[in-house]
Structure 1
Amino acid sequence: MEKVLTQKIQIPTNNVSLFIRREDLIHPFVSGNKFRKLKYNLLQAKSEGKSTLLTFGGAFSNHITAVAAAGKQFNFKTIGIIRGEELSAKIIENPTLSFAQECGMQLEFVAREVYKTKNEDEFINGLKQKFGTFYLIPEGGTNDLAVKGCQEILTEEDAVFDYICCAVGTGGTISGIINSTLPHQKVLGFPALKGDFLLEEIRKFTIKENTELITDYHFDGYGKVNQGLIEFINIFYKQNHIPLDPIYTGKMMYGLFDLIEKGYFPQGTKILAIHTGGIQGIEGMNQKLKRKKLPLILLQ
């Protein structure tokens, strides 16, 4: 079991206590929930005798970074199916894609409309004809083996916490966490996407009913940020020396601070927030912020 640091967070009240699980420190490139999701998938790929991993992602995908780095470390060939044909001419200026390529990942760019069919048999069969045999890892990495890995995030020592909180993308990480909770614990998920459809995805992997999705802090949708969120992330970094990514954990922590301020939690509540990594995406986000003449996210 990987020993992961848990840090207490400064908050402007003594009514509750807040801690953060530093999953982002597990590995410099395969960090946070990506490490958890890939752990058993890589073991399965080895057991099946597969030497190639194929997966999907966007321009700044943490998952693409993690699969590329894991493939290099554990001697897998990797193929990344990337959303957006126009990105093929922008690899050098894109920190995520250039890193993946440096790790040896073969990048295949497809039109956005075509990308929407990535889970259909016809599309997958076309990939098999083009690339041969591979072990398929879904976009975001979520499947039964990923959930199994994420069940290892919580430990026996975490029984002292009343609430477990994490950001939600595809639902795999929170599903694993839910499966590991004790009867007295409640799980709060902070979706990075608009809509409440994620609850259906989560129910595919867990039967527990101790979960609430807090849908007020997606900042208009996946990958969207504003100056208020960036300022919060930078203040948090200055006070706690912990970087937050703006897509997932930054929004979750912003939401948690807001809920605490509004008195959402009973007095004496102990809260554990899960830092799911994603720090590699800050460089790409800062490129966008610079173009928009907005403040940059601090990294040091």
Structure 2
Amino acid sequence: MAVVGYLAAINRALHDEMARDPAVSVLGEDVRVGVTGLTKGLFDAFGSDRVLDTPLSEQAFTSFATGAAMTGQRPVVEFQIPSLLYLVLEQIANQAHKFSLMTGGQVNVPVTYLVPSSGSRYGMAGQHSDHPYSLFAHVGVKTVVPATPADAYGVMLSAIRDPDPVVLFFPAYLMGVTEEVPGELPAVPLGRARVHREGTDVTVVATGHLVQQALAVAERLAGDISIEVVDPRTLYPLDWVTLRESVHKTGRLVVVDDSNRMCGFGAEVVATAAQEFALVSPPVRISRPDGAVIPYAVELDIALLPSEQQLEEAVRAVCK
């Protein structure tokens, strides 16, 4: 067993896939020097042909990646902050995502989009603190938010190997997290949820770093309430089978996610559960507020994000 950090796991996955498949390349701003740590060492290992520093134009290099993928390459695109995804929504959602569908599967676009340090980072203010994974799940792009170093490694492998575009969000709160893992780490299939903790009273569906919060609350309430913690890992396509089995066992559901409330990921899970699942009490969602813009002040930043206290109160409420 060895201890691996979240960021190091992603970096290791990139090294391993580039060594395994010469069609894999990495591009983005300052990727050769590895400013975010995600691409550290890749330039020295694989050279300038496969590790490309790009000009400051997200629309240009995202379109470039689409073209490269259509010719048989497997580009990995790094965005330094999540808000940059708004600039390239057209290139991802309307071009890369739809091209295979519109050609009847004749042309695949296997691009992987990496978003390190997504979400709030304590005082990074409005234009650096978004966590727009619900937006990409909404338009049908494969969307992944891994919660542990091992899962981050595993879904990276699967994303790069997938024939379709995949957006991976790596939450800022997890960048310093470590985990004891075996020497060999397997690929994690896209579209398969993970039950981190089994329980009988209430199902808590948590995304990204909020999985750690859910596990902490589950441990704290263990003497009173048995909480099952389910991590979707892939938000689209979602593993409804695992979620349904869990909720049918517990009869209660709380969803906590780090996107805005309106049309967020939590809203979809709650709506589907209300329509299709066997519930004994109304489901509850915890999220950022409607239209949340994270302020610069750290105290206000923290106040707008889902918290363990909110989760504990919601769990107690559904279990009354």
TM over 0.5: no
| TM-score for the superposition, normalised by structure 1 | 0.34
Richer in strand (by share): 2
